Amino acid sequence: MCALRLEGKVALITGAAIGIEGEVMGIGGASARLFAREGAKVIVTDLDTERGETTAAQIEAEGTPGGAVFVPLNVTDEQQWERAIATAVSTYGRLDILVHCAGTAAAGTVENTAVDEWDGMMAVHAKGVFLGTKHAIPHMRKAGGGSVVVVSSIDALVGGSHGTAYSAAKGASRSFTKSAAIQYAAENIRVNSVHPGYTDTPLARKVVSEIMADGSSDPRIPRVPLRRLAVAQEIAGPILFLASDEASYITGAEVVIDGGITAQ
Amino acid sequence: MKLKGRVAIVTGASSGIGRGIALELAQEGAKVVVSDITEVPKQGKYHEQDTTTPTVAEIEKLGGEGIFVAADVSAESQVSALVKASIDGFGRLDILVNNAGIYFDTGAVTTSSEDWDRLIGINLKGVFLGVKYALPHLRQSPAGRVINIASVHSFGGGGGPAYASAKAGVLNMTRDTAVEAASDGVTANTICPGYIETAIQDALTPDQVELANKMTPLPRLGLPRDIGRAAVFFASDDAQWVTGTALPVDGGLLAPVMPGY
C-alpha cells in the first residue's frame, strides 16, 4: 500500500540542475529529488554542470531509495542527446521516463523579439523536446512502455502580454505532445504535457525582475485565484503522477498547474 | 498513504466509476461516505457482470472505513442530509467527488422533456447541490477538494443533447467553483473519462463498444480504478496548486484531430 511510486524505473530529466537543498529550486531539480525519493534512478541533465553535479551528488548522499547521476546535456544538440541516453541505458540498464524540463525564457513583444531570440526559444522548447523523444522511444519500446512528460506552460494555452517566442515555442511542445501520444499509444508509451502557471523558480525570478525593472509591481499574484506563486515542488507532484503507473490510462493530456489562473 | 485522516463523499459509488474512486481513496487511507440511490451494485451486460458486494464491504476488506448513505443527488434535501451524515459520522469533510450520473442515447427529437429534466437534475444540478452544501465544510479543511466527474462528451457532440449539455456544464461550473473557493485554499477540478468499463455502457450497441475500442489509442479500455487514481491525485498534496482544470483520463481519445485516423 505504501510502495514507492517509481520503484525500478529509470528517468532522464532535462533542466534538472537546480535542485540544491536550501536554494530556490527549479521544476526539473525538484522533480529529480522527488523521483529519487520515490525509487527512480534519475539521470540529471543540464547545461549547468556545476549545479547539476551538486544536485545529483546530494541525491546520492541522502541515500534516497533511487539514485542519481549527472550527465551534461545541451538539448538542442542531437549528438549530446544520443550520448546522454546511451549513458542512462549503460548506467541503469533501461529508460522508462523522460521529463522535458529544460527551458529558458525571455520577455518581448512581436516587434521587440530578435530573430536569434526566436530561433533560440524554438531550439530549446520545440527541437529539444523532439530530439529527446526521438531517441528515447526505442528504449521505452524495449522496456515494454514508457512515459514522456513535457513541461510546457500556461502560455501554450492563453496569450500573455510578454514573451512572444516563449509562448510560440511552448505551444509547439504542447502540440508535439499530442501527436507523439497518438503515434506511440499502441506501444504503451504515454506522452503528456504539464502547464505550470506562475512558479517561483530562479528562471522566473530573472524574467520578472526584467519586467519590473521599470519600477512596476509584480503583476502575477493578483491574477492567481489561490493568491500566491507556486513552488517548484508543487509542479513536480503532477509530473510524478504522469510519470508513474498511476496515470496508466492518461495520454495526450495536458495537466494545468496554475492556481486557477486559466479557469477565470 | 496519501489521504490518511481525510474524509471523502463519493456520489454514485455503489458501482462503476464511483465505486472505483471510493476504493482508490480508501486504499490511500481516506474514510469514505459511499452514496448512491441503492447500496446494491449494478451489473452490466458488457462489464461489471460479477459485481455483487456493496462498496463499503469492499472498503472494509481493504482495511478501510466507510459508511453508506442513500441519496438522490437531484433532491436538495437528500444532498444536504448526505453532507450532514458525513459530518455526523466522521466529524469533517475534506473531499467531495460528484460522480453520480445517468446516460441515455436519445436524440433531440426523441428525448422527452421529462428525461431531459431527469438527466440534467442528476448530472448537472446534482453537482451544484453537492458543492452548495459541502463547500462550507471543505473551507474548514486544510486540503478541501471538489472533484467533479465530467466526460470526453464535455468537449464534443455525439452523446445526445442532455448528456452533452450536462457534461459541458459540469466543466465550466467547476471552473467557477475553483475561482469562488480559491480564497480558502479549496481546489476544484474535473476528470473527463473516456470509455470506462462500467454498466453505464449498456446503453451502447455491441458495434458502438467495438468502435470505442478501435478509437482509443492506448491498447485497452479504461477501468474504474483509472479514474480512481486520478481522483487520488487531485485529492492529494501532489495537486495542491492545481485548480480549475480538466484532466482527460481517456487512453488518448481526445488527443487526435480525427479519432481513429
Q: Which of A37, A250, A254 to mutate to test the interface with B (most CBs of B within 10 A)?
A: A250
C-alpha cell at A244: 508513474
**Residues on chain A touching B237 (C-beta within 8 angstroms):** 237
CA distances from B22 to A69, B98, B222, B234 (A): 39, 12, 16, 14
pTM of the model: 0.91
Three-class DSSP category at A19? coil
| Cell numbers 502580454: residue | A161
Quote the minimal CA–CA distance from B113 to chain A in Å: 32
Residue A86 reports pLDDT greater than 90: yes
pLDDT tens per residue across span A176-229: 999 999 999 999 999 999 999 999 999 889 888 887 888 888 888 899 999 999
Q: Name the residues of A annotated as catalytic.
A: 166
Residue A1 reports pLDDT greater than 50: no
Bigger pLDDT: A64 vs B199: B199
CA distances from B155 to A96, A145, B210 (A): 31, 28, 22
C-alpha cell at A253: 493530456
Residue A58 reports pLDDT greater than 90: yes
Q: Mean pLDDT of all residues in chain B?
A: 96
Residue B189 reports pLDDT greater than 60: yes
**pLDDT computed for residue A114 by the predictor:** 94
Helix axes B126-138, B76-90, angle to 10 degrees: 30
Interface contact flag, A255 B247, Cβ < 8 Å: yes
Find the mean pLDDT for residues A71-85.
98
Q: DSSP alpha helices (H): ranges in chain A?
A: 27-37, 49-61, 78-92, 115-122, 128-142, 164-184, 202-211, 232-243
pLDDT tens per residue across span B39-82: 999 999 999 999 999 999 999 999 999 999 999 999 999 999 99
**Residues on chain B touching A258 (C-beta within 8 angstroms):** 241-245
- The domain limits of chain B are 7-248
Closest listed residue to residue A173, CA positions, set A157, A197, A190, A189: A157
Quote the minimal CA–CA distance from B155 to chain A in Å: 13
**pLDDT computed for residue A95 by the predictor:** 98
**Residues on chain A touching B174 (C-beta within 8 angstroms):** 263
Residues of A near B (Cβ–Cβ under 8 Å) read 1-2, 178, 181-182, 185-186, 188, 190, 197, 225-227, 230, 234-235, 237-238, 240-241, 246-253, 255-260, 262-264
CA distances from A159 to A137, A165, A171, B64, B207 (A): 32, 11, 10, 46, 42
**Residues on chain B touching A241 (C-beta within 8 angstroms):** 233, 238-239
pLDDT tens per residue across span B14-49: 999 999 999 999 999 999 999 999 999 999 999 999
**Residues on chain B touching A256 (C-beta within 8 angstroms):** 242, 244-245
Interface contact flag, B185 A178, Cβ < 8 Å: no
Question: pLDDT category, A163, cuts 50, 70, 90?
Answer: confident
Q: Which of B233, B242, B245 to mutate to test the interface with A (most CBs of A within 10 A)?
A: B242
Name the fold adopted by B7-248. Rossmann fold (3.40.50)
Three-class DSSP category at B95? strand
Q: Which of B238, B240, B250, B254 to mutate to test the interface with A (most CBs of A within 10 A)?
A: B238
Does residue A125 contact residue A153 with C-beta atoms inside 8 Å? Answer: no
The ipTM of this complex is 0.83
Residue A263 reports pLDDT greater than 90: yes
Total beta-carbon pairs less than 8 A apart between chain A and chain B = 132
**Which chain A residue shows the shortest CA-CA distance from B224?**
A249
